[in-house]
C-alpha cells in the first residue's frame, strides 16, 4: 500500500531525468510560469483559465507551495538542466492511497513542445509513483488534444476509452480520453 498523500507531498523529493530536474515549485518561478500560463494555445485544453496577469501566477504558486506544506497532491516544477529554466509542471493531481492509484496532469512551454521532454517527465513520475506503491496511474485529455494523448502513449500508458461529457471546461462539458498504466507493465 502506498503512503497517504500527506506523507508523500510534504516530503516530495526532487527527481532527475536525462534532461530535467523535477522539483518543488517556488514563488521565484512566477515569471517563467507566466510565460506559458498566459498563452491561450497552452491553456486551450486545460481546466484552468489563461493567466491574465503575473498576479494570477503568484496566486497559483502560493496555492502550490501551500499544498506541499499541507501534504496535498500537487505537481513538480520542470527545470531544464541545460539552462536552469523553469519550463512547465507535471505530477499528480490526485493520489488515492486506499485504491493505490493516482492521476497525472502536465503542461509545458510551447518552445519545448515536440522534444520528448514531457514524455521523459511522465515516465520518471510513473516510475516514482510505482516505487511509492501505486498500482495504477492514469491521465486524461480532451479528445481533440492529440499532443497530450501522444505523450501518454509514448510514456507507456494504454488508451482505455472516452469518458463522454466528463469534464466541465470553458463553459461546456468535454469528452475526455482516458489512459492508464499498471505497475509491472512494460514502459517503452
Go through the domains of the chain in sequence order and give each one's CATH number. 5-137 (3.40.630.30)
Give residue 40's Cα distance to chain centre.
18
Phi and psi at residue 57, in whole multiples of 5°? -70, -45
Using CB atoms within 10 Å of the CB of residue 132, give its burial: 0 to 12 exposed, 13 to 18 middle, 19+ buried: middle
Please list the pLDDT of the chain residue by residue as tens digits (188 residues): 788 888 889 999 999 999 999 999 999 999 999 999 998 888 888 887 889 999 999 999 999 999 999 999 999 999 999 999 999 999 999 999 999 999 999 999 999 999 999 999 999 999 999 999 999 999 999 999 999 999 999 999 999 999 999 888 878 899 999 999 999 986 65
Amino acid at each position: 500500500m502506498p503512503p497517504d498523500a500527506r506523507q508523500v507531498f510534504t516530503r516530495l523529493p526532487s527527481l532527475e531525468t536525462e534532461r530535467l530536474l523535477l522539483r518543488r515549485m517556488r514563488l521565484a518561478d512566477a515569471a517563467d510560469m507566466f510565460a506559458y500560463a498566459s498563452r491561450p494555445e497552452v491553456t486551450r485544453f486545460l481546466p484552468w483559465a489563461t493567466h491574465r496577469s503575473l498576479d494570477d501566477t503568484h496566486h497559483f504558486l502560493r496555492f502550490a507551495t501551500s499544498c506541499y506544506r499541507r501534504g496535498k497532491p500537487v505537481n513538480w516544477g520542470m527545470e531544464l538542466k541545460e539552462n536552469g529554466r523553469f519550463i512547465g509542471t507535471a505530477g499528480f493531481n490526485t493520489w488515492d492511497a486506499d485504491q493505490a492509484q493516482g492521476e497525472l496532469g502536465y503542461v509545458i512551454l510551447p518552445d519545448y513542445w515536440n522534444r520528448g521532454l514531457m514524455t521523459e517527465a511522465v515516465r520518471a513520475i510513473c516510475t516514482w509513483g510505482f516505487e511509492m506503491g501505486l498500482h495504477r496511474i492514469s491521465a486524461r485529455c480532451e479528445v481533440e488534444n492529440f499532443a497530450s494523448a501522444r505523450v501518454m502513449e509514448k510514456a507507456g500508458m494504454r488508451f482505455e476509452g472516452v469518458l463522454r461529457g466528463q469534464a466541465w471546461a470553458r463553459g461546456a462539458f468535454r469528452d475526455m480520453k482516458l489512459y492508464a498504466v499498471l505497475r509491472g507493465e512494460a514502459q517503452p
